[in-house]
Structure 1
Amino acid sequence: MKNSSFLTFLLAAWMLCFTLISCDKDDPWAGTYISEYTNFGMGKAHTYITNDRDGNPVEIGIILDKAAFDNFTELSGDDELSIDFPEEAGKTPFKHQYIGFAAHGHEPVGIYDVPHFDLHYYTSSQAERMGISPFDTIQAANMPGPDYFPAAYFPTGLVPQMGVHWIDGTAPELAGASFTETFIWGSFNGKVTFLEPMITKKFIEENHSFETTLKQPSKYDQPGKYYPTKHGFDHDDEKGEYRFYLSGFVLR
């Protein structure tokens, strides 16, 4: 009886394990999904989304290989890339990633004029973003209410093929500190259209990994979607990859 009971227990445990594994394999949403690898600089990049077993987002971002990251210097010149997120990112508001490397930074002079990455997470399509012209002043002036942005954020000018950038008025670099990383919001024609971590190459090189909490608005442009509460980056030495991500998703 004891042997029989033990064998029955083992069989039941094996069947339970098999069932759990099968469920994971059959779940079309659980796991990490990636876009096609795309040339960027002297290397490759791809976007990704990681979902839990219920298909809810855990992390979304872009990965650069070492060849791409190392290529970007003050001598390399500017470069940019636009890649759609996998379709499994549908529970988030994000549709594509628009990443740019600014070899000498950009305005305002004395603040953001150092080599850095601009990582835009767009809620609009690539075609919609590319259609923004410098003459779209009426659409640019049509801004969402202040409740759709974290407190202390204020709008700056329209950037063609991007939108209106909103800057955190409490950001340390605006008070004289050296710029290392900051977080931008964006709008166009009455909607919040992107979230943008902006990170210097030097800060990435000096820190193996980094994560920080995002300030939140009191209202969200797309109720029923999952929005991030953190952003960060990580360097995987074994894989030779640099991962930039949004995480801590909450249903709004």
Structure 2
Amino acid sequence: MTSVKKLSIVLAGVAFSTLSLGLKTAQAHGGHLHPDSGHLPSDSGQSPSSIDPRIESNSIFYGEARPLGNGLVRTWVRLNDNENPTDIGVSFTDSALFGLPGESDDVGEYPLKLPLLDGIDHSTFEYELLFPKEAEATPFTHLALNWNPSGHAPEGVTTVPHFDFHFNLFTPEERHTITADNLEDFLTKAYKAPPVEFLPPGYIAPPMAAEPRMGVHYIDPTSPEFQRPFDRVFIYGSYDGKMAFWEPMVANSFLLTKPNTTDLIKLPSAYPKSGYYPTAYSVNYANGEYSVSLNGLKYRSVPEPSLTLGTLAFGAFSAVSFLNKKRKQTA
């Protein structure tokens, strides 16, 4: 083997190793915390006591109030003294639980009625709500609140009237392109798994879990709803290999008990982009309003690969290309 060939191989190896190191470094730092964290524990293994995060706070910012049933619904975000988000959620009035559409109703664009692909011919009603601009430090762009008058699959578990609160990472425009017009293409993209580190251990995508304007739903088979009558559960979602939403699912019957509960979220080891992500979720009732919120927001940093490493890799590839060119000219 000539010295030029040997040098080419060595430099190619350096380039590959450099790029690999840069990518591994970025992945390893995917879960780093910002010093300014949310107010709930994430690793205690215990559910913290719950109180509506909006109570006794002067830093609550609301989105536009819109109709829901006989009442109103609006999104909100809570900021701390450093103007960083600690909680993000949605609240709706007492009367919003009444006058909701039934399975046979169709009221137009708001809410938008969508047939489900869960194999039991049920429908969902989608209420799309934007978050206030003060929530832009979180990864969540908008909320798709889905009212399911007959529930949905799996049958016998979540086939009760309930709400799905999709805290979406996609923009509304991106989410609207998720259609099942070509069912085979839709299912292929829906079940294209995201990087494994973006999902908590144990979460799986069961059959019949993909829906238009959402994506595929990942569940934890060990969650309590499989051992008790369904009242609430936390779900992740993806589409075309990208994380699409984080979702509390809450039964209407549970809301009517006027609960104040907080549950820790089973967390992934890495995140798709930098921002404030939750460590818990709450279902609260206070002052004539229900709230469903993501809490204990912590800053998750996803650094870019090192510029120095990238420059070294580019130089190594350039050197390999130059030496190969010279070798061909010599030959």
Larger radius of gyration: 2
Which among 165, 175, 179 is matched to residue 119 of structure 1?
A: 165
CA contact (8 A) 2:69 2:99 kept: yes
Q: CA deviation at 1:204?
A: 1.8
Residue 190 (structure 2) aligns with: 140
Residue 293 of structure 2 aligns with an amino acid whose one-letter code is Y
Q: Does 1:210 align with 2:261?
A: yes
Deviation at 1:101, TM superposition (A): 1.6
Give the structure 1 partner of residue 11 of structure 2.
none
Question: Corresponding residue for 1:56?
Answer: 84
Q: Is 2:246 the counterpart of 1:195?
A: yes
Deviations 1:92-150 (A, max 9, x none): 10000111121111111111101111111001111211210123233223321221111
Distance 1:132 1:75 in 2: 23
Instruction: Report the structure, 1 or 2, having the larger strand content.
Output: 1
Distance in 2 between residues matched to 1:217 and 1:227, nearest whole Å: 11
Is the Cα–Cα contact under 8 Å of residues 76 and 103 in structure 1 kept in the other structure?
Answer: no
Q: 1:42 corresponds to which residue?
A: 70
Equivalence for 1:241:
289
- 1:112 counterpart letter in structure 2: T
With normalisation by structure 1, the TM-score equals 0.81
Structure 1 unmatched runs, 5+: 1-29
Answer whether contact 1:74 1:115 (CA < 8 A) is retained.
Answer: no
CA RMSD between the two structures = 1.9
Taking a change above 3 Å as real, the CA distance of residues 34 and 76 of structure 1, as seen in their structure-2 partners, is: farther
Structure 1 contact 41–79 (Cα < 8 Å) conserved: no
Q: Which runs of 4+ in 1 moved over 4 A?
A: 72-78
Q: Where does residue 229 of structure 1 map in the other structure?
A: 279
Q: Is the 8 A contact 2:68 2:100 kept in 1?
A: no
Structure 2 residue runs of 5 or longer lacking an equivalent are 1-57, 106-123, 301-331
The number of residues matched between the two structures is 219
- Provide the rounded CA distance (Å) in 1 between the counterparts of 2:191 and 2:101: 35
Considering Cα pairs closer than 8 Å and 6+ residues apart, tell me whether 1 or 2 has the greater RCO: 2
Amino acid at match of 1:170: T
Instruction: Please give the secondary structure, in 1, of the residue aligned with 2:96.
Output: helix
Question: Could you tell me whether the CA contact under 8 Å between 1:73 and 1:115 is conserved in 2?
Answer: no
Q: Corresponding residue for 1:99? A: 145
Residue of structure 2 aligned with 1:161, choices 196, 210, 213: 213
Q: Is the 8 A contact 1:129 1:162 kept in 2?
A: yes
**1:209, CA displacement in angstroms?**
1.0
